[in-house]
Amino acid sequence: MRKLHKKPLIMATAALALTGTLAVGSAMAYFTTYTTAGGGVTMNMGFTETIPNETVDKDGKHVTITNTGDYDCFVRVTAFAPMKLTYTTPNGGWKAKDDGYWYYEGVLPAGETTPELNISYKFPEGKDKPEEFNIVVIQECTPVLYDENGKPYPDWNHVITTETTEDSKTTE
């Protein structure tokens, strides 16, 4: 049998191992590099916004709500004043609930306006009659959510509120 020379064999194996180690490092660097990009893009996902429209005359306040946002929403309204208020809906579309709010019956589509909700009051009489007083109208909206059957429902725990105050001067 032939005599094997151990020294050249060990040197060749070591050279092969070192070469393999260098290749693994390059492969790891190739697969683990990353990059970042600068700059940005402004993204608008849309919003829900409603604006109360009020007119005041001797009969009280006439309130409508316009959905100026990008999405359909549910709307509710309440008002505060130093005297008792009476609510009427000449064209329907509103319903009172026990929490003191008047709810628009249905979904208010984007770009649409609710029917009129009239808020009337009786002026105090006698010496206590003020020159003017405020009726504060608070309207809230919430985006439309859908259940698993596709039926729309409101989440009144997440509302967008608008408060308006317009002086109401007494008229003789």
Q: What is the pLDDT of residue 151?
A: 94
Look at residue 150 and tell me if it is in a domain.
yes
pLDDT of the chain along its 172 residues, tens only?
466 678 888 888 888 887 777 777 777 777 776 667 777 776 666 778 899 999 988 878 999 999 998 899 999 999 988 888 999 999 999 999 999 999 999 999 999 999 999 998 877 677 777 777 788 899 999 999 999 999 999 999 988 876 665 544 444 3
Look at residue 158 and tell me if it is in a domain.
yes
User: What range does the domain containing 121 cover?
Assistant: 50-169
Per-residue buried b or exposed e for 138-154, using 16+ beta carbons within 10 Å of the residue's own CB = bbbbbbbeeeeeeeeeb
- 48 within 8 A of 112, measured Cβ to Cβ: no
Look at residue 99 and tell me if it is in a domain.
yes
Q: What is the pLDDT of residue 172?
A: 39
pTM for the structure as a whole? 0.66
Look at residue 44 and tell me if it is in a domain.
no
Q: What CATH number is associated with residue 118? A: 2.60.40
Q: What is the pLDDT of residue 163?
A: 61
Decide: residue 114, CB within 10 A, 0-12 exposed, 13-18 middle, 19+ buried: buried
Q: Tokens 């206590």 correspond to what residue?
A: 128
Q: How many domains does the chain have?
A: 1
Look at residue 45 and tell me if it is in a domain.
no
Alpha-carbon torsion, ordered 52, 160, 103, 97, to 10 deg = -130
Look at residue 82 and tell me if it is in a domain.
yes
Decide: residue 54, CB within 10 A, 0-12 exposed, 13-18 middle, 19+ buried: middle
Q: Which two tokens stand for residue 143?
A: 């985006």
Q: What is the pLDDT of residue 169?
A: 45
